[in-house]
Amino acid sequence: MAVASEALNRRSAAQLATAAAFLPVAANADGYPSLSIMTTEGEMTFDLWDDVAPKHVESFLKLAKQGFFDGGAFHRIIPGFVIQGGDPNAKLGYGPSGTLDGGDKSQIRKWGTGGPGYTVPAEFNPRPHEFGVLSMARANDPNSAGSQFFVCLGRLTSLDNKYTVFGKITKGEDVLKRIASAQTVAGDIPFKRQGIERVDQL
């Protein structure tokens, strides 16, 4: 499920921009639900923006409560761009040492294709894709988001109003930077497992 390979036609983009203009641009931390993502590099916490993406926040918290993300991994890391996780297929594939050495190639080929068995309608909004922002990955269909998410590693204007932003990091920027610096191989795959151990609402 690619992050930035899809393009909207001009008419759709204009319609989305018009609709987004009526949504709040600035995030107000008061009252937002918050989330902990415990990784093999430490904990990151996020505010979840249920004012601009209520369906995505509801779905993400439901999956977290079910333990859907626990034991997973960030399966795609592109320095300066994103780290991506949330695919249940990424729970399997690494070798006994926690690296790609001795890994299951047939399982690794499935990474990036999994989801929860349902999709969430797009909630594109004017919040910018910038460092630490949480957004949903999707396929070509704008309404195809499921469980795969990404965290931005910089200001990514090319993704604005094309992917649903639904939160931002509040603690653990050092953890995010460590994951972002992990060694990768062809396909932006981390050589060493960058685990998502637990995801919990706070």
User: Each residue of 108-159: pLDDT tens digit?
Assistant: 999 999 999 999 999 999 999 999 999 999 999 999 999 999 999 999 999 9
Tokens 């972002």 belong to residue? 180
Checking if the pLDDT of 32 tops 90, the result is yes
**β-pair type (184-185, 189-190):** antiparallel
For the chain, the domain total comes to 1
Give me the percent of the chain exceeding a pLDDT of 90.
85
CATH code for the domain of 173: 2.40.100.10
Calculate the average pLDDT of the chain. 89
CA angle 120, 137, 144 (to 5 degrees): 35
CB 175 within 8 A of CB 200: no
**Which among 143, 165, 167 is positioned nearest to 156, based on CA atoms?**
165
Tokens 């309404």 belong to residue? 143
Q: What is the pLDDT of residue 22?
A: 41
Residue 111 within any structural domain of the chain: yes
Residue 124 within any structural domain of the chain: yes
Residue 58 within any structural domain of the chain: yes
Residue 2 within any structural domain of the chain: no
Q: What is the mean pLDDT of residues 89-94?
A: 97
pLDDT tens-digit readout, 126-138 = 999 999 999 999 9
Residue 86 within any structural domain of the chain: yes
**Which among 73, 83, 143 is positioned nearest to 110, based on CA atoms?**
73
Its domain, for residue 81, covers: 32-201
Residue 190 within any structural domain of the chain: yes
Residue 186 within any structural domain of the chain: yes
Q: What's the pTM?
A: 0.85
User: What's the rounded Cα separation, in Å, for the pair 154 and 50?
Assistant: 22
Q: What is the pLDDT of residue 13?
A: 39
Q: What is the pLDDT of residue 191?
A: 98
The H-assigned helical ranges of the chain are 10-20, 54-65, 105-108, 173-180
Residue 133 within any structural domain of the chain: yes
